[in-house]
Amino acid sequence: MLLLTPSGFADYELIDCGEFEKLERFGHYVLIRPEPQAVWNRKWDRAEWEKRAHACFVAKSSSAGIWQKRKDMPDRWYINYRNKPGMDLTFRLALTSFKHTGIFPEQAVNWDFIYSSTQKLKQKLNDTPRVLNLFAYTGAASLAASSAGAEVTHLDSVKQVVNWAKENMDLSKLSNIRWIVEDAMTFVKREVKRGKRYHGIILDPPAYGHGTDGRKWKLEEMIQEMTNHVFSLVEEKHFLMMNTYSLGFSSLILENLFGNFSKGPFETGEIYLQSSTGQKLPLGVFGRLVSI
């Protein structure tokens, strides 16, 4: 099992974490946000956090809350990610009512994998790889694949975040992305029936969610069926990357799922963020393979 953490993300820093919160820097601005995995004590006291923070998220329910600003900062701002030659991504961030900012910075390790795998496929195929990004959110993984030369199909069930992803594409001066607002399971079933194939498939499913048709998604109940369909969609030469964030969800689950379908070698592990004060904050498990 691998343990991976981003490196070279100049516009992001996990400063400190603990007592179910994290202190983070996104570009020029420092935020305090809830973090259910941070069950230990913080390294710095709360007064130091408050002194450094531009804004703090205060939960009002299990899924929503408000931002309280401590210093002057905009509600929207921009950061960059440039960790690979030729990959120059720009993201618009925002203080949302559901505590997120528009990116999950720990996923930078997967953006690097997607970029490198797409480049290898393009060289091997001597053609444009087709990449499908499911549960694609604001599109960082789609941008990574597009910047490496792929034709990308980007799918999410929420129209607002697809529009946000389009904005990130324009900011990054990219194109060649097809946008779809639909339930992921409904879409992949239809693609299987059509006999469609992709050279790269990316999945980052939520623990819980709802599709455009009101169909409920629960990770533990539906991940087996989704994995079955996804492996039916890959070309002979392909890469596949799956990431899950769910409390208590083991990388051994992805190892068993991949083992059921993959004929080649694959790797699984855990993604974490390394804080500047020394803690390792776990933020999901992954499985990925490259068959080129």
> Tens digits of per-residue pLDDT, 11-25?
999 999 999 999 999
* Structural domains present in the chain: 2-77 (2.60.40.1180), 104-291 (3.40.50.150)
CB-based contact 200:239 (threshold 8 Å):
yes
The DSSP code for 129 is P
- Average pLDDT of the residues in 264-274: 93
Q: How far apart, in whole angstroms, are the C-alpha atoms of residue 134 and residue 71?
A: 37
Q: What is the pLDDT of residue 208?
A: 67
Span 27-39, pLDDT tens digits? 999 999 999 999 9
Could you tell me the two tokens for 93? 């961030």
Residue-level pLDDT at 219: 82
Nearest to 283, CA basis, from 274, 132, 292: 274
Closest CA to 82 of 14, 4, 144: 144
Residue 234 tokens read as 């890959």
User: Is the Cβ–Cβ distance between 171 and 139 less than 8 Å?
Assistant: no
d(CA 117, CA 148): 9
Mean of pLDDT values over 272-279: 98
Q: Give the span between the Cα atoms of 13 and 77, in whole angstroms.
A: 16
3-state DSSP call for residue 212?
A: coil
Tell which phi-psi region holds residue 237, choosing left (phi > 0), alpha (psi between -120 and 50) or beta: beta
Reply yes or no on whether the pLDDT at 107 is more than 90: yes
Q: In this model, does residue 285 exceed pLDDT 80?
A: yes
Taking the C-alpha atoms of residue 149 and residue 117, their distance in angstroms, rounded to an integer, is 11
Judged against a pLDDT cut of 90, whether residue 206 lies above it is answered with no
Give DSSP secondary structure letters for 136-173: -TT-HHHHHHHHTT-EEEEEES-HHHHHHHHHHHHHTT
Quick check: helix, strand or coil at residue 214? coil
- State the pLDDT confidence band at 166, using cuts at 50, 70 and 90: very high
Query: Is pLDDT above 70 for 247?
Result: no
Residue 210: what pLDDT? Answer: 67
Tell me which residue has tokens 């528009």. Answer: 102
Residue bearing tokens 């290898």: 120
Asked if residue 217 has pLDDT above 80, the reply is no
pLDDT of residue 17: 98
The full 3-state SS of 67-111, as one line of letters, equals EEECCCCCCEEEEEEEEECCEEEEEEEECCCCCCCCCCHHHHHHH
Average pLDDT of the chain, as a whole number: 94
- pLDDT attached to residue 62: 78
Least confident of 41-50, 124-133, 242-251: 242-251
Query: What pLDDT score was predicted for residue 216?
Result: 72
Confidence of residue 173 (pLDDT cuts 50, 70, 90): very high
